[in-house]
Amino acid sequence: MRRLLTVLLLACVALLCAVTPAQAHNVLIDSDPKDGAELATGPETITLTFDQPVRQGFAQISVTGPDGTRWEDGKTAVNRAKASVRVKALGPAGEYVVGYRILSADGHPVSSKITFTLTAPGPASSAQATEQATAEPVPAGPAPADQGPDLGAQAAEAAQNGGAGMAVLWIAASIVLLGGATVVAMRRTKEGGAR
């Protein structure tokens, strides 16, 4: 009986150890601008700070304006726990969505978003108005192709799914291990009782 309890205890410890890595994903702890900030002028750079270093080469930050236009300028840069991207001079006033997708220190993707509000139109707004006033009318045609992946939608999906598959895999393996250990312990107990 003591062996069975020992085996069960070890299996429970293995199960707890297996579940813990699934909860060790990077967490956003700060941003510049802050989530929900109201700004009179647009930022030149968006910087996201995480609780652990971010893996190089996998970070993506997008900046989408109230009209659906993308405003990030260039690739996302990573410096240890910080990921940043330059931002073009912004256009219309309204809510801007900063979507991000990074690869955690533990190897799992993490996605989400923050927002900020531009309270006054930016310099690109007057440039767009001038272009529209001088441009010739364009005949109606098929809708333009999507500008790229919507990181805001990807953020919600990855927040739901990131790491869940690995947690299920670890739990299933632990249950199989627990079952096998229980069978072995019960056989040994029967053999000991038969003597």
Apex CA 31: angle with CA 27 and CA 34, to 5°?
A: 125
Beta-carbon contacts of 24 under 8 Å, excluding residues fewer than 6 positions away, are: 104, 105, 106
Domain span at residue 76 reads: 26-136+144-164
- The answer to whether position 7 is within a domain reads no
- The answer to whether position 115 is within a domain reads yes
Whole-model pTM? 0.57
- The answer to whether position 3 is within a domain reads no
Chunked into runs of 10 residues, the chain (195 residues) has average pLDDT values of 66 56 76 96 96 91 96 95 96 96 88 96 68 48 46 46 49 63 66 61
- The answer to whether position 101 is within a domain reads yes
- The answer to whether position 113 is within a domain reads yes
Among 22, 64, 31, 83, CA closest to 154: 64
- The answer to whether position 194 is within a domain reads no
The pLDDT value recorded for residue 105 is 77
The pLDDT value recorded for residue 12 is 60
Q: Give the number of domains in the chain.
A: 1
Beta-carbon contacts of 110 under 8 Å, excluding residues fewer than 6 positions away, are: 25, 26, 27, 101, 102, 103, 104, 158, 159, 162
- The answer to whether position 8 is within a domain reads no
State how far the Cα of 55 lies from the Cα of 104, in Å rounded to an integer: 6
State how far the Cα of 113 lies from the Cα of 120, in Å rounded to an integer: 22
Return the beta strands (E) in the chain as ranges.
28-32, 37-39, 45-50, 60-64, 72-79, 82-87, 94-103, 109-118
Query: 184 by DSSP, 3-state: which?
Result: helix
The pLDDT value recorded for residue 159 is 44
The pLDDT value recorded for residue 127 is 55
The pLDDT value recorded for residue 19 is 47
The pLDDT value recorded for residue 170 is 52
Tokens of 25: 């994903």
The pLDDT value recorded for residue 17 is 55
The pLDDT value recorded for residue 8 is 64
Q: What is the DSSP string of 137-179?
A: PPPP-SPPPP-S--HHHHHHHHHHHTTHHHHHHHHHHHHHHHH
The pLDDT value recorded for residue 16 is 57
- The answer to whether position 172 is within a domain reads no
The pLDDT value recorded for residue 122 is 87
For tokens 């297996």, the residue is: 18
